[in-house]
Structure 1
Amino acid sequence: MSTLTPSALRVPTRRNTELVLLVFAVLIVVAAEAAVEAARDGHLSSRLLTYAAVPIGAGVVTHLVIRKLAPYADPLMLPIVVLLNGLGLVMIHRLDLGLKQQAVENGLPYDGAQAPTQVVWTALGVVLFLVLLLVVRDHRVLQRYAYTLALAGVFLLVLPAVLPARFSEVNGARIWIRVAGFSLQPGEFAKVLLTIFGAAYLVEKRDVLALAGKRIAGIDFPRGRDFGPLLAAWVVCIAVLVRGHDLGTSLLFFGLFVVLLYVATERASWVIVGVLLFAGGAYLAYQIFGTVQLRVGVWLHTFSPAYQQSGASYQLQQSLFGLGTGGIFGTGLGAGHPELVPLPATDYIISSFGEEIGLVGVAALLVLYGVLVARGFAAGLAVRDAFGKLLASGLAFLIALQLFVVIAGVTRLLPETGLTTPFLSYGGSSLLGSWAVLALLVRVSDAARRPTTSPPAKDTRDVTSTSVQAAVS
């Protein structure tokens, strides 16, 4: 019987592929910034070097660290994120130029430039990415701290809802912490912590949760005694919705937990029960809270005279007008007026892109997100341990669901929720949380592609040698 030699098990690291893709990503970002400057100023300036240096620095530093700490990681994830982050920075800078011109035309001063701040947040996001790769040498170590991370996640999620409105409320939603001019959205970090807990908990309890109970309409529903985790998640999310008036965050977390249940148990009945529970909670919130009623009313009757006179539907109207103006190919970067949409760099940055790069450009952005999500799911399928499978699947779904909710709100498919677009939107909390998600996906993908004969990563105490057993068998 033949044995496998180390050379036969050799797996290419694909780091050179990643480097080539990073070069292309940087070139696209530089070309986009050049297009903005040519359209706005008629010539290129030194700012091109500044905004080119950001994706170059982020790409080079993270690539070198991945070569050392996660050599078998997926080669597509990092270039996609560098490209998205770079394009988001270009659009934020372009919006700064438009808002400044608008202020000058109205005889007002403008000191609210957001692009320089986003550069700082990008640097901090890269630092967080590197720290996580250095500290978390094996993703399975996180399973040991699941309940501690869950406690921290729930604390961060609930904190804005219990603070006075002047410290937490923005546009009717209490999802912020605002102190001394500094604002933070703790839910962006809570989503990562709760995803880790959900994956660890369901690995532990999946056999019990997979047991069937009563059969209704041809579907095996779970036993009543096993509804505890789902009901607990529902209560937390509805509490956030009730207290914070934040439909987007509650939808995000509850959808995440239901999908993790489905992946762990492979039972569609969990999804059905989850959808029914959330629909009931959302309907109850609609009946009680005026903020939720207003958002649903604006969604259903965007062009109603009542909402137009009050200005409640102005943001969504401008978004739809901008998307319509962009058409198929867009007006060109720097040639439109996306600054006319309120909050164009945060909630409605997709609308800003839609006006200037059109349907084709937005479709290209969605393809990038689709590839990123697909590679996350691929890492989950390929990794050898159950916790890694659920963790990667949950993080990938988190990106997909958040993107869907944002796109649906901008295009009037769903009520606007106030969520940000991962890696594109302005905001420190969103960017830091997104880079943290990337770090964990990179770590899981490295474990998935690492040859079974390779020595384990450092700091893997008390972790089962699943890969070694698989190689022997």
Structure 2
Amino acid sequence: MRTPPGGITPVRPEPAAAPSDDGSTDTAVLRALRKIRVPQKQRNRELALLIFAFLVNGSAVVLVQLGAAGEVDPKFLIYLGVLTALALALHITLRIVARDADPFVVPIATVLTGIGLAMIYRLDVHWGRHGWAAYSNRQLAWAGIALVGAILVIVLLRNYRVLFRYTYLFGLAGVVLLLLPMVPGLGTDAGADVWISLGIFSFQPGEIAKICLAIFFAGYLVRTRDSLTSTSKRFLGFTWPRARELGPLLVLWLVSLGIIVMQHDLGTGLLIFGMFVAMLYVATGKTSWVLIGVVLAAGGAFVAWRVLPYVHGRFDNWLNAFDPDLYWSYGGSAQLVDGIFGMAHGGLLGTGLGQGRPWLTPVAESDYIFPSLGEELGLIGLFAILALYMVFTARGLRIGVNGQDDFGKLLAVGVSFTVALQVVIMVGGVTRLIPLTGLATPFLAAGGSSLVANWLIVAILLRISDAVRSRPRVVIG
């Protein structure tokens, strides 16, 4: 059927309800019939992809056990089965309350989480870590918490537009979460000042803060888009904003620099500023905002490099990584170089799961899990992982572009871009394309706070995509 001018596709009107025996119209039955979708194509597609993801995850763990230990340990497979059951529970929940949600997001997140678990477990086998001392067991527990949290968001957040009402509350929550590591008695000495201790475990509040700030940025830009899109003049082929509209961007730039200076956290500062610039571009459609953001980020990085010893060390390790003196110095480039040699050892096809030596690189289960996977899966395996990230981001951006309202569009784009930017920063850092920063590779790296935050992002995208696909069509005639 050809679409008429105006972009509205005519839909055949539904037939009138047949009267029942008592002469009344049985609208309740018809309403129930309209809610039934047989088959649920999106959910069936998701189930097929999930089964494939479960097979990949289980096979990866078995290969690790055979390659590293020479035998299969059913105990860890049982633990992985519990995680599989939770993923199926999320799928069933979507069938009931969000049957039109995107079918690719959950399988991609599941297989990335499983591959990360297999590599973390592989390192535990080498170091002989067992029980709660094993990073893989803790990662499994956090993965279970993350999936339960995603299910709760899907069930409780029936209408994501409710978040728009609390725009400034989420902004305040994001700032408070970023400041928590500076509270006496809460902060830890684990590298950068971004962790807080809650007794039996540590948590990185900045991971949850990025979600709160994404909600705040989306609500704020929807409210102020008209003023931000006002123009003064065109220069060099671009429409440049007026000076007074630069205020929000400058404030976020200063906040990002403050995070770098006070918490020694270059990654979070770049992530928050990059997310805001991307959402600002989507809200206004003005390329000049991106150019201004890039100039500010480059200027801030240059000043931090010249002034802050912490940032200067990162740049020095990046530019002079293979300097022998720097390699053997404390806090030098040994970690970066070892990771590069590990990926080179993997070659095109890799050494095979459980048969490499990823433990030679310090903190291989967290910051350097990407080089660890590159050694045992090879360049082809790394490309497959990057392709999964690419599809995940593309689905998130598509959800945003097709959104019903401006808030949903900006929120979906914001959280999707956050995942993509985090991958770019970490992969670029461990491959020596850019200076290394202290972020976690989404879904793969060991770290409960990062895993929980990324699965909450999955839940938000599912909720927005369900609203996009299930929106009512316009009936003509």
Kindly provide the amino acid, as one letter, of the partner of residue 174 in structure 2. Answer: G
Q: 1:317 aligns with which of 331, 337, 340?
A: 337
Q: Give me the whole-angstrom Cα distance separating, in 1, the residues matched to 2:52 and 2:104.
A: 12
Matches within 5 A, 1:5-404: 5=13, 13-47=41-75, 49-100=77-128, 112-160=133-181, 162-163=182-183, 167-171=187-191, 173-180=192-199, 182-311=201-330, 312-404=332-424
Q: Give me the whole-angstrom Cα distance separating, in 1, the residues matched to 2:14 and 2:123.
A: 54
Is 1:214–1:221's contact at 8 Å kept on the other side of the alignment? yes
Q: Structure 1 length normalisation: TM-score?
A: 0.90
Structure 1's unaligned 5+ residue stretches are 102-108, 454-469
Local SS of the residue matching 2:294: helix
Q: Give me the whole-angstrom Cα distance separating, in 1, the residues matched to 2:317 and 2:131.
A: 30
Kindly provide the amino acid, as one letter, of the partner of residue 262 in structure 2. Answer: R
Matches within 5 A, 1:410-429: 410-429=430-449
Deviations 1:237-295 (A, max 9, x none): 11111111211111100000000010000000001111111222222222221111111
Is 1:10–1:451's contact at 8 Å kept on the other side of the alignment? no
Local SS of the residue matching 1:213: strand
Kindly provide the amino acid, as one letter, of the partner of residue 319 in structure 2. Answer: L
Local SS of the residue matching 1:139: coil
Kindly provide the amino acid, as one letter, of the partner of residue 431 in structure 2. Answer: T
- Pairwise CA distance, 1:471: 5.5
- Pairwise CA distance, 1:166: 8.9
Q: Give me the whole-angstrom Cα distance separating, in 2, the residues matched to 1:303 and 1:127.
A: 45
Deviations 1:291-348 (A, max 9, x none): 1111110011111122122141111111001000001010000000101111111111
Is 2:102–2:465's contact at 8 Å kept on the other side of the alignment? yes
Is 2:105–2:392's contact at 8 Å kept on the other side of the alignment? yes
Q: Give me the whole-angstrom Cα distance separating, in 2, the residues matched to 1:165 and 1:352.
A: 35
- Pairwise CA distance, 1:179: 4.9
- Pairwise CA distance, 1:10: 9.4
Q: Give me the whole-angstrom Cα distance separating, in 2, the residues matched to 1:310 and 1:411.
A: 20
Q: How many percent identity over aligned positions?
A: 43
Q: Give me the whole-angstrom Cα distance separating, in 1, the residues matched to 2:58 and 2:14.
A: 42
Is 1:376–1:441's contact at 8 Å kept on the other side of the alignment? yes
Question: Relative to 1, partners in 2 of residues 1:134 and 1:10: Cα closer, same or farther, differing over 3 Å?
Answer: closer
Is 2:13–2:475's contact at 8 Å kept on the other side of the alignment? no
Question: Relative to 1, partners in 2 of residues 1:300 and 1:376: Cα closer, same or farther, differing over 3 Å?
Answer: same
Question: Relative to 1, partners in 2 of residues 1:375 and 1:471: Cα closer, same or farther, differing over 3 Å?
Answer: farther
Question: Relative to 1, partners in 2 of residues 1:419 and 1:307: Cα closer, same or farther, differing over 3 Å?
Answer: same
- Pairwise CA distance, 1:55: 4.1
Local SS of the residue matching 1:174: coil
CA RMSD of aligned residues (A): 2.3
Question: Relative to 1, partners in 2 of residues 1:88 and 1:443: Cα closer, same or farther, differing over 3 Å?
Answer: same
Is 2:83–2:143's contact at 8 Å kept on the other side of the alignment? no
What residue in structure 2 maps to residue 457 of structure 1?
none
Question: Relative to 1, partners in 2 of residues 1:472 and 1:340: Cα closer, same or farther, differing over 3 Å?
Answer: farther
Kindly provide the amino acid, as one letter, of the partner of residue 373 in structure 1. Answer: T
- Pairwise CA distance, 1:65: 0.7
Is 1:287–1:293's contact at 8 Å kept on the other side of the alignment? yes
Is 1:72–1:450's contact at 8 Å kept on the other side of the alignment? yes
Question: Relative to 1, partners in 2 of residues 1:134 and 1:3: Cα closer, same or farther, differing over 3 Å?
Answer: closer
Q: 1:436 aligns with which of 456, 460, 463?
A: 456
What residue in structure 2 maps to residue 460 of structure 1?
none
Question: Relative to 1, partners in 2 of residues 1:297 and 1:166: Cα closer, same or farther, differing over 3 Å?
Answer: farther
Q: Give me the whole-angstrom Cα distance separating, in 1, the residues matched to 2:70 and 2:63.
A: 10
Q: Give me the whole-angstrom Cα distance separating, in 2, the residues matched to 1:45 and 1:116.
A: 14
- Pairwise CA distance, 1:58: 2.5
Is 1:33–1:51's contact at 8 Å kept on the other side of the alignment? no
Question: Relative to 1, partners in 2 of residues 1:32 and 1:265: Cα closer, same or farther, differing over 3 Å?
Answer: same
Deviations 1:112-134 (A, max 9, x none): 31111111101100111011112
Larger Rg: 2
Is 2:120–2:446's contact at 8 Å kept on the other side of the alignment? yes
Count of residues in correspondence between the two structures: 448
Local SS of the residue matching 2:161: helix
Deviations 1:73-129 (A, max 9, x none): 00111111111111111111011012229xxxxxxx998311111111011001110
Is 2:61–2:77's contact at 8 Å kept on the other side of the alignment? no
Q: Give me the whole-angstrom Cα distance separating, in 1, the residues matched to 2:461 and 2:131.
A: 40
Deviations 1:159-213 (A, max 9, x none): 22x3459934433x21111354521111100000000111111111112111112
Question: Relative to 1, partners in 2 of residues 1:168 and 1:212: Cα closer, same or farther, differing over 3 Å?
Answer: farther
Q: Give me the whole-angstrom Cα distance separating, in 2, the residues matched to 1:125 and 1:250.
A: 24
Structure 1 position 4 matched with structure 2 position 12: yes
Q: Give me the whole-angstrom Cα distance separating, in 1, the residues matched to 2:35 and 2:146.
A: 35
Kindly provide the amino acid, as one letter, of the partner of residue 33 in structure 1. Answer: V
- Pairwise CA distance, 1:451: 4.0
Structure 2's unaligned 5+ residue stretches are 1-8, 16-33
Q: Give me the whole-angstrom Cα distance separating, in 1, the residues matched to 2:371 and 2:14.
A: 52
